[in-house]
Amino acid sequence: MDFLPLPLGTYASSFEVLIENIQDIQYDGGDFLTYPDRQGWTERTVAEWLELFQNPSREFTRFMERWILFGTLHYFFGGIIEPSDLIRFVENPRRLVLSMQPLCSLLELDIYSGDLAIPSIAMELHLELSLAENDGDYNEYDLYCRMDLISGIRRKKFKDPRSPEMVFVTSAWLEILMYWTIWPVPVEMGVLNLSATHKSIIWKLLRGQDWCPSDLTGALHRFNSSSLYFLHAISQPTFATKSHKMIHIRGRGRLPESNPGKALPSGDLCNPFVCGLNKLSDQDYATKHARGCSGCYNIQADSQILCSILRKQKVPLIYFDKAGSICLVEKEPEMSYIAISHVWSDGLGNPHANALPYCQIDRLNGFVRNLKCNGCPNLLFWIDTICVPPDSASLKDEQDSAMGLMREVYEQATAVLVLDSWLYGSTALDKWPVENLMRIFSSRWTSRLWTYQEGVLAKSLYFQFRDSSVELETEIQRLKDGADKVTQLTLVQPLLRMYQEIRFLGRGDASFEEKFKAICSSLGDRNTSVASDEPLCIGTLLGLNVLQLAQAPPELRMQKLWKMIPLVPFSFLQSQMVRLESPGLSWAPKTFLRCVQNRNRTGNPSCWSASMLGAVGGTATVSDEGVILKSPGLLFKPGSWGGSYEEIGPGTGWHYKFKFQSGGEFEDIGIILLPKNAPISKDLSPDAPEFREGETHALLVAVQKETTEIVHCQYISPVSWTELTQKQDIEPLNQLIRPGTGFYDDNVRYETPDGVLVARVGKRKPENQDWCIG
């Protein structure tokens, strides 16, 4: 692992890739796609391939490792570097290990001029192998089908025979090479992480350092392989004296149901959604004293003054005087103050009173006065613990007013200062920007709901370390100015992407649709202890009337939010999120947060990818009956057919295939074909729908009523859609549908477990067809 950047002063590698002899990495220099045939791994039955993958010989394992990694490297660097340059001897004990350092100097050169076809195929094969579960669900037809190796990997999900170390090195290099081919990488591209799986060696390394699974799940979505390797070399965040023990889940999609933000019922065990040690409740919450304080008295805000200010729809600000008391003053225009952003699990909250220990108030006051962001000391500050009445105070009107003022608080503050216990446990002045930014973007502050809006709305955003406060914009500029090419190709892209996520909405030219997409995409890696806070946060960021949202019953706030929004992007309909069950809102996501309900087929959190956000264009209009959109489509009716239902396409060989997550049987099924902004290729994220080249985005709906003007329907699921011509082999597709596992007739076949639908007859709907999804 000598080719990846590490923090200053860190040199040791956590693992090595051992090489027995140079032939193990010596590619023959020929075509990538036909390499298996040249090496003797020609077409076989599925049963024979299964035996090879389940009980791989040393020869087969080395072939697979050599083909995917060194075949790809040859495609880029063939003839420039020899295999012998990529190995080195290590003593005590004496061994031969893989060394990729010589390749790094080639990344400084502009020597690549080919297309992305081969690297894309290598990446697809690598991802299919590294994510495969191989549950052994093969029927007799499957086992006796003959296919080549590439087809087998794509279609049968064989178990990966490669070593975990080689899989990680391959992931890192495929990511680097993909970035290299499109340099400079646009930030909008998102982050490519081929190690985003709980089976990867980097996950095991980080878990071995007692990183919480819920924190790591967010890191897998935010960072690439190189960033995760860098992250394992810096000290992990500590939350409690207990370790983060994890719930172990076997199989697909077997996590129990839960409400957003609510931990699984397993005591203090952690899971990919929630930290078991970080569960907060008003009854058990303990406000903490500053480090080194042996005990001091609480300072409490004057409730009458606080309520008086809030009733006037004004923002209360805190002044800490020399006598050791706090005064609340009403914010006036052009008044300078600092807004404090913090994580409640660090102990700066108080669910019982607008009060904090003297030591904490004094500490906050010191941070604020030392933050000379406007050229002079700041004397006033705001923190929610003092300035927002808690639930226990039974001051709902005043609390609602405070919630409605949140945007003003953070947007008009001179600066927002972030306090996170992990960041405060580290110094910043002796670190290079990459390490400071990696700490910032992997801190617990970046995983909480409310802190997102606090970072987005800030004019200037500062993070408090032990020796100084760091301004985010300044640190990002230092990163851009000082990073070499290898650092840019490995670490910079994820950091810039995270920076854009937090600061994007500060752009004045961002459209409503862009803002809405950015907000809801960012929430996929965040969670909250109070589910009903989510619509308040979204409403604040969109500039909606948050007071109206706050006054709605907590359990109905999400429904209220959707009724306040006139247009929604089509990509919301395509996202794999849990939906509301209210009339007219079957299409509407119930939550965008990371929670048990928002999970994919493997049971892992389902998050939007950057490619998903950009792939589907257009908006739908929100009405009381549902969302209304214009789009072509298809209607299918199981059983007998006739009249307007006819065979689709010329000849009996035409079929339609649909892949989707949720199941169910419906009298009439509809497919709404969504417009797209860009060609669809396979999304290289394990959480994305199984889109492949040739497929298009669509929605599966249950048709309720069809008139001459509009088709009324109920939302079921996003799907990917493919039209198969009679030139293609449709027999394997038909074999996917087995009687007894779904509904099955001559015209429409539906397989529940596999989520595959094949249709032969139907009714086409025109380009300008109106649909109402209720």
Q: What are phi and psi of 640, to 5 degrees?
A: -65, 155
Q: Which of 67-76, 85-94, 114-123, 262-271 has the lowest mean pLDDT?
A: 262-271
Q: Which residues contact 768 (CB under 8 A, 6 or more apart)?
A: 630
- Mean pLDDT of the 398-415 span: 94
Q: Which residues of 14-45 are buried (b: 16+ CB within 10 A; e: fewer)?
A: ebbbebeeeebbebeeeebeebbeebebeebe
Helix/strand/coil for 119? helix
The CA-based dihedral angle spanning residues 686, 214, 411, 298, taken in that order and rounded to the nearest 10 degrees: 180
Handedness of CA 727, 732, 733, 739 (dihedral sign): positive
CA 742 to chain centre: 32
Half-sphere exposure of 696 (CA within 13 A, CB side): 16
Instruction: Evaluate whether residue 14 is within a structural domain.
Output: no
CA 653 to chain centre: 40
Same domain, 575 and 488: no
Do 386 and 318 form a contact (C-beta atoms < 8 A)?
A: yes
- Mean pLDDT of the 583-599 span: 83
Q: What percent of the chain has pLDDT over 70?
A: 77
Better-scored residue on pLDDT, 376 or 39: 39
**Residue 253 confidence (pLDDT):** 31
Distance from C-alpha of 154 to C-alpha of 732, rounded to nearest angstrom: 14
Same domain, 137 and 218: yes
The pLDDT tens digits for 228-277 are: 999 999 876 554 446 667 655 433 333 333 343 444 445 568 888 888 87
Q: Which of 126, 117, 124, 85 is nearest to 104 (CA)?
A: 85
Whether 608 shows a pLDDT value over 70: the answer reads no
**Residue 615 confidence (pLDDT):** 45
Whether 747 shows a pLDDT value over 60: the answer reads no
Same domain, 310 and 431: yes
Confidence band, pLDDT 50/70/90 cuts, at residue 139: low
Q: Which of 192-206, 276-290, 497-511 has the lowest mean pLDDT?
A: 497-511
Q: Which of 471, 525, 420 is nearest to 191 (CA)?
A: 525
- The last residue of one of the domains, among 512, 531, 555, is 512
**Residue 122 confidence (pLDDT):** 94
Instruction: Evaluate whether residue 766 is within a structural domain.
Output: yes
Better-scored residue on pLDDT, 207 or 156: 207
Distance from C-alpha of 660 to C-alpha of 699, rounded to nearest angstrom: 9
**Residue 9 confidence (pLDDT):** 77
Distances (CA, A) of 134 to 54, 211, 773: 9, 28, 37
Distance from C-alpha of 363 to C-alpha of 526, rounded to nearest angstrom: 28
Whether 473 shows a pLDDT value over 90: the answer reads yes
Same domain, 319 and 227: no
Q: Which residues contact 35 (CB under 8 A, 6 or more apart)?
A: 27, 28, 67, 71
**Residue 737 confidence (pLDDT):** 43
The pLDDT tens digits for 533-585 are: 999 999 998 889 999 999 999 999 999 999 999 888 887 787 778 889 888 99
Instruction: Evaluate whether residue 9 is within a structural domain.
Output: no
- The last residue of one of the domains, among 204, 232, 260, is 232
Same domain, 38 and 174: yes
Do 209 and 233 form a contact (C-beta atoms < 8 A)?
A: no
The pLDDT tens digits for 158-210 are: 889 999 999 999 999 999 998 888 877 777 777 888 988 888 999 999 988 88
What does the longest C-alpha to C-alpha distance in the chain come to?
90
Instruction: Evaluate whether residue 291 is within a structural domain.
Output: no
Distance from C-alpha of 414 to C-alpha of 491, rounded to nearest angstrom: 31
Same domain, 371 and 491: yes
Same domain, 623 and 478: no
Q: Which of 348-357, 684-693, 699-708, 738-747 has the lowest mean pLDDT?
A: 684-693
Q: Which residues contact 237 (CB under 8 A, 6 or more apart)?
A: 211, 212, 215, 421, 422, 442, 443, 444
Q: What percent of the chain has pLDDT over 90?
A: 41
Do 43 and 148 form a contact (C-beta atoms < 8 A)?
A: yes
**Residue 265 confidence (pLDDT):** 47
Q: Which of 281, 269, 215, 271 is nearest to 242 (CA)?
A: 269
**Residue 202 confidence (pLDDT):** 92
- The last residue of one of the domains, among 512, 529, 546, is 512
**Residue 133 confidence (pLDDT):** 67
Helix/strand/coil for 630? strand
Instruction: Evaluate whether residue 8 is within a structural domain.
Output: no
Q: Which of 173, 129, 4, 65 is nearest to 686 (CA)?
A: 129
Same domain, 616 and 704: yes
Same domain, 315 and 416: yes
Total domains, the chain: 3
Instruction: Evaluate whether residue 557 is within a structural domain.
Output: no
Instruction: Evaluate whether residue 562 is within a structural domain.
Output: no
Helix/strand/coil for 308? helix
Instruction: Evaluate whether residue 253 is within a structural domain.
Output: no
DSSP code string of 172-224 = HHHHHHHHHHTPSPPGGG----TT-STTSHHHHHHHHTT--HHHHHHHHHH--
Domain of residue 420: give its range: 298-512
**Residue 738 confidence (pLDDT):** 44
Two tokens, residue 56 = 């791989």
Select, from the ranges 116-120, 581-585, 723-727, the one with the highest average predicted confidence (pLDDT): 581-585
Better-scored residue on pLDDT, 249 or 668: 668
Query: What's the mean per-residue pLDDT of the chain?
Result: 81
Task: Give the amino acid at 678.
Answer: A
Helix/strand/coil for 323? coil
